[in-house]
Chain A
Amino acid sequence: MGTLPPADLYRQVAEANNRGERVVVATVARTRGSTPQQRGAKMLFFEGGEAAGTVGGGCVEAEVWAEAREALRSGQSALHHFSLTAEEASEEGMVCGGTMDIFLDVWKPAI
C-alpha cells in the first residue's frame, strides 16, 4: 500500500460517508527517533475492513489497525501513542525503533 494522494483520500472519505459509513483517517502527528513514516502520512480504515494508504508498514500498522477498528465502533476520535522497541523492530527485520503519535479521526456520515 503506497502513499495516497490527498485529493483521492478525501474523495474516498466523502464517498464512504455518502454511503452512510464511518471512516477512520489515521494521521501521523508526531514522530521521535527512527520511524518508518513521515509526519503527515495518512491511512484510511473503512467499516468493511479495507484500508488505503500507509502509516508505516509492519512496525506499527497492526496496532493501528486494532485501534482503528475500535474507533470505528466507538465513534471516538483520539490521539494514540505507539512505540516500537528495538527488539520488536529486529524481529520484523525492519529498521524502526522510534515512537509515533497517530491521530485516529472518525469521519461520520451526515445525519
Chain B
Amino acid sequence: MKDSTDNLSSISSLLSRLFSDGSLAVVVTLIAAPRNVGAKMIIEEKRSHHGSLADPALDLAVILQAAVFLASKEETRTFYGREFAPELSEFSEAQFLFELIQPEQRVVICGAGHVGASLAKLAALLGYCATLIDDRKKFVRREDFPETNIELVKAESWSEAVRAAVGNGRGVSVAIVTRGHSEDEQCLRAVLTLSELPGHGSDLDNLPAGTPDYVGLIGSKRRTRIVLERLREAGVSAEQLANVHAPIGLDIGAVTPEEVALAIIAEIVAVRRGGSGHSLSSR
C-alpha cells in the first residue's frame, strides 16, 4: 500500500509554485475513507495533475469532478464519492474536500477622486488588495488611506502605472474612474493593449501577459461608447472591447460617489462569484 504522505513535501512545493505563478488549480483531499485519509491530488486548470488517491478509476473520476468544481466558481466544497462517482461503490461513503487555488484577488483603480477613493476603501474592506492610482500626489496620500491592503501609486504616466499594476492580469479587476475622458481612454488603452507588448510580464514571473478578469469604464452610455469606438479605430479587437463593462457597475440607482463605488464593487464581486446581480427576492 502506497503511503499517502509520501509526496506531501512535493505537494507543498507545488502549491507554493502555483501561488507564485498566480495559477488556477483544484486541490482534492480524501478526508473520510477506510484508508489513505489525507491523500491528495492537484488538478491544474489545463488538466495536468499531480498526486494520487491510490486508485486509478477514482483518480480519473476526481479529475473530471475537478473540472465541474472549477466551473462552479465555488472555493470549497466537500463531496461524497457517490455524488460524482456512483459506479465506484467502494468509495460511495468516502468524503472528498475540493479546494480552489487561485491568484490573490486585486482591484486596480485608475483615478483617486471621490469614486476611486471610496472604491479603494470598499475593496479593502471586502478583502481585496487595492491599488489606487492618480497623477495628483495629494489624492494618494497615505494619511488618507491607512488601510494596509491599499497600495497608493502617484502616476507619472497613466499607461505605465496601469500596466505595472495590472501585471499578468490574473485575479485582477480594473476600474477606470479618472477625472477626465482623456485619462480614462489612456488607461483603457493601456489595459487592452497589455498582451501586445513584447516581453511584458516576463521580467518577474515568466508568465505570458494576460487580460484582467474584469475591466470597467465609468461614464454615460453615450460617452463610453465614443471611447470604445475610438479604441476600435485604433485597432483594438471587437472581442476585447465587448468584454469591457461600460458604463461600469450594477444598476442600484447609485447617486452619491460612495454609492457609485458600491455599484462597481458589487459588479466585480458578481463577475468573480458568478452572481446575476438580481434581487434574491425576484428569483
Let me know if A77 is at the binding interface, CB within 8 A: yes
Tell me the number of A-to-B contacts counted with CB atoms below 8 Å. Answer: 66
CB neighbours (8 Å) of A103 from chain B are 29, 31, 97
Inter-subunit contact B9/A110 (CB<8 Å): yes
Given known contacts A39-B76, A40-B76, A106-B38, A10 and B99 CB-to-CB distance under 8 angstroms: no
Inter-subunit contact B12/A108 (CB<8 Å): no
Let me know if B13 is at the binding interface, CB within 8 A: yes
Of the candidates B32, B76, B127, which one forms a contact with A79 in the assembled complex, judged by CB atoms under 8 Å apart?
B32
- Return the CB mask of B15-52 against A: 1 if under 8 Å, else 0: 11001100000000101100001100000000000000
Let me know if A13 is at the binding interface, CB within 8 A: yes
Given known contacts A29-B97, A40-B75, A79-B95, A14 and B31 CB-to-CB distance under 8 angstroms: no
Inter-subunit contact B78/A101 (CB<8 Å): yes
Let me know if A93 is at the binding interface, CB within 8 A: no
Interface residues of A in 56-111 (CB under 8 A from B): 76-79, 101, 103, 105-110
Let me know if B230 is at the binding interface, CB within 8 A: no
CB neighbours (8 Å) of A29 from chain B are 31, 76, 78, 95, 97
Q: List 6 A-B contacts (CB under 8 A).
A: A14-B9, A38-B76, A39-B78, A77-B38, A110-B8, A110-B10
A49 to chain B: closest CB distance in Å? 21
A20 to chain B: closest CB distance in Å? 11
Interface residues of A in 2-51 (CB under 8 A from B): 3, 5-7, 10-11, 13-14, 17, 27-30, 38-40
B96 to chain A: closest CB distance in Å? 10
Inter-subunit contact A10/B31 (CB<8 Å): no
Extra A-B contacts (14), CB below 8 Å, given A5-B104, A106-B38, A109-B9: A6-B19, A7-B16, A7-B20, A7-B104, A17-B9, A28-B76, A29-B78, A38-B76, A39-B76, A40-B75, A79-B95, A105-B29, A107-B12, A108-B8
A68 to chain B: closest CB distance in Å? 14
> A101 to B77, alpha carbons, bound, how many Å?
12
Report which B residues bind A (CB closer than 8 A): 5, 8-10, 12-13, 15-16, 19-20, 29, 31-32, 37-38, 75-78, 95, 97, 99, 101, 104, 127
> A109 to B19, alpha carbons, bound, how many Å?
21
CB neighbours (8 Å) of B19 from chain A are 6-7, 10
Of the candidates B5, B9, B97, which one forms a contact with A27 in the assembled complex, judged by CB atoms under 8 Å apart?
B97
Inter-subunit contact A107/B8 (CB<8 Å): yes
A105 to chain B: closest CB distance in Å? 6
CB neighbours (8 Å) of B5 from chain A are 106-108
Inter-subunit contact B12/A17 (CB<8 Å): yes
> A109 to B8, alpha carbons, bound, how many Å?
8
Inter-subunit contact B78/A13 (CB<8 Å): no
CB neighbours (8 Å) of A109 from chain B are 9
